[in-house]
Amino acid sequence: MQTNTPDSQPSTTHSASKTTEQSLYEKREKIYPREVHGRFAILRTASVIVLLGLFFALPWLQMDGRQIVLFDLPARKFYVFWLTFWPQDFLLLAFLLILAAFTLFFFTALAGRLWCGYACPQTVWTEVYLWIERQVEGSRLKQMRLDKSAMSINKLVRKSIKHLLWLIVAGATAVTYVSYFSSEELLSHDLFTFQLHGWELFWVAFFTLATYINAGFMREQVCKYMCPYARFQSAMFDKDTLIISYDEKRGEPRGSRRSDVHTDYNKKPLGDCINCTMCVQVCPTGIDIRNGLQYECIGCSACIDVCDDVMEKMSYPKGLIRYTTQHAIEGKPSRILRPRIVIYLVILTLFTSMFIFYVSQRSSIGLDIIRDRNQLYRETSGLIENIYTLKLINMADQDRVFEVKAEGIDDLNLLIDKSTILVEAGTVYDLPVRLQAKEENLSGRSTEIRFTLSVAGEDDLSITEIGKFLGPIQ
């Protein structure tokens, strides 16, 4: 063992060389958000009521004898109000996705995480679950005391009621969600008569469990660790983005005091922040907004409401925590309307116009051409014959009689077994047809032909699709 002497260098002790082990995963501590009142709380509550009302009401509303919003996957038809979308309308889906993306970019660049704070399903259902928790277990302090207390009849009853109500909300959410893909009336009948099909039962159980866990237990963990938006939102921010910020110049140094003084016990000047920590207590993700902008902030504005309430009681000006920009905080000129916002707005306007134009111009009939792949062609009575299956799509709400023509080759014969082609409303009709042509009229191994589909009695409504007629090698 080495000993230290005045003439020797001190050895490295065990305590100095000891490494500190730190876990990469932090154990979650339950957050108890304090109930808050104010103008932003009213907006958030109104948003929750409107969004939940639409979500639960739409499957029960009827239009033209059908559910007003129904994604009928087996029939490959999406009903959205008065519009019916088919697989041929896939381009519309691309428009909608682009619109959704740039709408998110636009509002994020303009005013931060408005979507997260007011309209995200995780936020909406968490608000409902928090409200239930407050009604059953009481205020924030009562909830904390109840969780720390030993098990008792009172605690067991309250916890049981809370979780039962959570499960009821989760079950209603799951049934409503599945009803967007299966008729609400039929689904409800099957549910209450215990006749749910396998897949319906699976998805109802899955979404019940997902809602119960996400909104009841995970809550802010979904926003902080599972949602990718929290990670890349900063790429859409700049110093002119409206964000929820603490005015450090006005608030610091913070400290408790009476409302009629602005100094501490040492007579040192204090800022407007009285260090009440109310902004931390109302935050659903448990952050301290006074530490600056953090990715965990979902922009719910609860800290603004509670801080304004405290400032009013202290007879101080409101706005210590407020929607502002980084430039404004630094005392520099701030521009809400700037090139990034204009570009997003132009793109949104462009794609919205394209979407409306496409919807207004799309045809109510459709035609798909499928060649018989069992044989390339066959020779019959000195003619070359190709066989096709035409899929005739009637997107209208009434039955129609269709007419089919084929062109592109001289003396082309179109053979159809039916004299009248009646296609019912909102259906796809498979029509087998044969084309016959003389070999000398073919331009090569493959000749382009055109099928034209029209509606009897509606001369201005027709659609033409290109196909191939195959023959022998010349």
- For residue 218, being part of any structural domain is answered with yes
Q: Are residues 267 and 137 in the same domain?
A: yes
Structure tokens at 282: 């109302």
Are the C-beta atoms of residues 455 and 365 closer than 8 Å to each other?
A: yes
- For residue 131, being part of any structural domain is answered with yes
Domain of 341 in residue numbering reads as 28-362
Are the C-beta atoms of residues 158 and 136 closer than 8 Å to each other?
A: yes
Q: Are residues 351 and 389 in the same domain?
A: no
Q: Which of 316, 343, 362 is the last residue of a domain?
A: 362
Cα dihedral 245, 247, 253, 255 sign: negative
- For residue 8, being part of any structural domain is answered with no
Number of folded domains in the chain?
2
Predicted local distance difference test score (pLDDT) of residue 417 = 80
Are the C-beta atoms of residues 247 and 322 closer than 8 Å to each other?
A: yes
Beta carbons within 8 Å of 371's beta carbon, 6+ residues apart: 386, 387, 388, 467, 468, 470
Query: Cα separation of 108 and 119, whole Å?
Result: 13
Q: Which of 362, 382, 411 is the last residue of a domain?
A: 362
Mean pLDDT, the chain, integer:
83
Secondary structure (DSSP) of 303-322:
HHHHHHHHHHHTTPPS-SEE
Q: Are residues 118 and 223 in the same domain?
A: yes
Structure tokens at 396: 């209208």
Structure tokens at 178: 């599945």
- For residue 18, being part of any structural domain is answered with no
Q: Which of 311, 335, 362 is the last residue of a domain?
A: 362
Structure tokens at 204: 């109802």
H/E/C letters for each residue in 86-114?
Answer: CHHHHHHHHHHHHHHHHHHHHHHHHHCCH
Q: Are residues 204 and 332 in the same domain?
A: yes
Query: Cα separation of 270 and 254, whole Å?
Result: 6
Q: Are residues 328 and 451 in the same domain?
A: no
Q: What angle do CA 344, 86, 467 make, to 5 degrees?
A: 105
Q: Are residues 287 and 190 in the same domain?
A: yes
- For residue 5, being part of any structural domain is answered with no
Q: Are residues 353 and 371 in the same domain?
A: no
- Counting Cα atoms < 13 Å in the Cβ hemisphere of 328 gives 17
Q: Are residues 340 and 369 in the same domain?
A: no
Look up tokens 């070359």; give the residue: 384
Q: Are residues 121 and 245 in the same domain?
A: yes
The tens place of each residue's pLDDT in the chain, 474 residues long, gives 344 444 444 444 444 444 445 555 566 788 899 999 999 999 999 999 999 999 998 888 887 777 888 888 777 778 888 777 777 677 777 888 888 888 888 888 888 888 888 999 999 999 999 999 999 999 999 999 998 999 999 999 999 999 999 999 999 999 888 888 876 666 666 666 666 677 778 888 999 999 999 999 988 888 888 888 777 777 778 888 888 999 988 888 888 887 777 665 556 788 889 999 999 999 998 889 999 888 888 889 999 999 999 999 988 999 999 998 888 888 888 888 888 888 888 988 888 888 888 887 777 788 888 888 777 888 887 888 898 999 888 887 788 888 888 988 888 888 888 777 888 877 888 889 988 888 888 878 888 889 988 888 777 788 888 988 888 876
- For residue 47, being part of any structural domain is answered with yes
Q: Helix crossing, 153-179 with 198-213: angle to 10°?
A: 130
Q: Spell out the alpha helix ranges (H) of 8-113.
A: 14-17, 39-57, 90-111
Q: Are residues 355 and 369 in the same domain?
A: no
pTM recorded for the entire structure: 0.75
Q: Are residues 352 and 371 in the same domain?
A: no
Q: What is the CATH number of the domain that holds 370?
A: 2.60.40.10
Q: Are residues 410 and 302 in the same domain?
A: no
